[in-house]
Amino acid sequence: MELAQISAIYLPHPVHSLNSTNSTYSLVSRDLFALPIVMDAIQIYAIAAGGTLCIFAFVNLLPLLIPLVTRVSIFVSKHFRYPYILHRHRILGPWTRAGVIIQLAYLAINLFCVLAVLSWDDIKAANFSGAGRRAGTLAEVNMIPLLAGPHFAFLADLIGLSLKTIRGIHRSAGWMTAALVFLHAMAAASDGPLPIDVSQNLFAVIGASLLCLLLVLLFPLFRKLSYELFLRSHQALAWGSIYAVWRHVPSDKSSPHAYIYITMGIFAATSCKLAPSSSETGSFATNCHAPLSRTMQPLAMDAGQYINLWIPSVSFWSFLQTHPFTVISWDAKDQARLDLLIEPRRGLTQELLYHAKKGYTINPLVMFSGPHRASLSMGEYESVLMVASGFGIAAFVPHLKKLIYSYNTRAVRTRCIHLVWQIKNEADGLAVQEVLNSALKEDKLDDGCILSISVYVESKNSPKTPFGERASMYPGPSPLPECHTDIRCTQFAIKLKSKLGNLLLKPTSHYTYFGLTYMYSESAKQAKAPK
């Protein structure tokens, strides 16, 4: 403003030079406009010099900040992430303190955006009609994460969040969008009747009807009848709603159309990863207890990662089905063969078991996407406790192979691995007998002492019996508290009592006992004596 005022003083009084056609005004103007340029250069130099010093200071102080961040992370996990306000229920839950706080903050932000009208000088409250219009626009914004990708796995890999978190975000954004659309429809109805012969009003009714139908199909009854059909119907109704919204929004409103184009652009960008990682032909396994295997081009696959499998020729509805399966094979190099441990239930897995029992020799087209999920590093822990039940053992097999290989090559600190496996009967372990035996055979450095296996059989009543050379079988359920407070390895005899130390308890669900939160993998069947 000061520069503009000074220029206004000189503009009305130009003084022409006698020896030049240029006016004195021109020279004065150049001087006036040159001063800020010099000042900007000085400011840039000062910011660059100060920023460089700050970077060096931050790097030097970083080792001091890491313990503080660790303490804060432990505090947040202990008091917010792990404690439950509502435990698992048929309809609701589980709800942690952190989850409730995040949901309340999400709700408060959306309410503020709907009810508050911001201006340069104050904040005003919107009337009901205005709040309804703002709710419609805000619903489009909330729809962006709902259609940000063709599959949750791609979003999880892209953002770096877990699949469970991505599902929670999708669920929350979906219900928020439905509530905002309902408010938008109520406000529009309060303004007067909507003539259906107008195209915009007609598509508003169509979009609202599709959204209502989508919500009705969310009831468990429809999902249990055919989950694959429900999933494709859910996706089709969602895209139908987007098209109806696009036709409903007036053409002179640029922002609502921009939100739709942004949604479609993000979906197109993430769909570029949808191209299957491999498409191969293979044969069905004739042994229904053996892991399913496919040979393909070499692929880098880390421990704990999974693939989404698509075999369109297995059954009539299989072209609509993709299923995630954990890859139980692991190798330090790229793998040309993937081994999958599949538990037959319904749908595709039941069809695979049917073809295996019949001994079919057809070579179906097998396509998959992946690998998905970031691998969990365990090499920095001296003691690793793995707790699994049934087919949940599939999540640990590649980690066992990787840890033993890394121990043999002196690449990790791990000195003790204890696998606790809960099964229903002794015959359930046929599927992974060969896999566990191969892991024990690789555990040969220092006379093979880092891996020990404890198998707990629910239907067994006899006392503890040997289950191979380095495995024991116990009757009844596994005593989880004793497992995490007292870990005994064959050679090292490491005992951890009431200390976290370098103990890692790996994988899928969270369980809290006396303030120590650990994880366990859960599923349904297996075990045979490893040698």
Residue 88 backbone class (left: φ over 0; alpha: ψ -120 to 50; beta: rest): beta
Report the percentage of the chain scoring pLDDT > 70: 74
DSSP code for 291: P
Give pLDDT, residue 105: 94
Structural element, H or E, at residue 505:
strand 503-506
Q: With a cut of 90, say whether residue 104 has pLDDT above it.
A: yes
pLDDT at 428 > cutoff 90: no
Q: Which of 499, 498, 433, 525 is nearest to 471 (CA)?
A: 433
pLDDT exceeds 70 at position 42: yes
State pLDDT tens for residues 186-243.
988 888 787 888 888 899 899 999 999 999 998 888 888 878 888 889 999 999 999 9
- Cα–Cα distance for residue pair 414/375, rounded to 1 Å: 17
**Fold of the 383-520 domain:** Rossmann fold (3.40.50)
At residue 516, φ and ψ (nearest 5 deg) are -95, 120
Read off the pLDDT of residues 372-420 as tens digits, 9 standing for 90 and up: 888 788 888 888 888 888 888 888 889 888 998 888 888 888 888 888 8
Rounded distance, CA 143 to CA 129, Å? Answer: 22
Fold (CATH) for 278-372 = Elongation Factor Tu (Ef-tu); domain 3 (2.40.30)
Q: Which residues contact 116 (CB under 8 A, 6 or more apart)?
A: 123, 124, 125, 126
Position 516 scores a pLDDT of: 29
**Distance of CA 103 to CAs 86, 151, 435, 527, Å?**
14, 23, 43, 42
Cβ neighbours of residue 58 closer than 8 Å, sequence gap 6 or more: none
Is the pLDDT reported for residue 30 higher than 50?
no
Q: How far apart are CA 400 and CA 418, in angstroms?
A: 10
What secondary structure does DSSP assign to 428-481, as a single string?
GGGGGHHHHHHHHHH--GGGT-SEEEEEEETT--S--EE-SSSEEEEESS--HH
Torsion, Cα 147 156 219 207, to 10 degrees, reads: -10
| Cα Rg of the chain (Å, integer) | 31
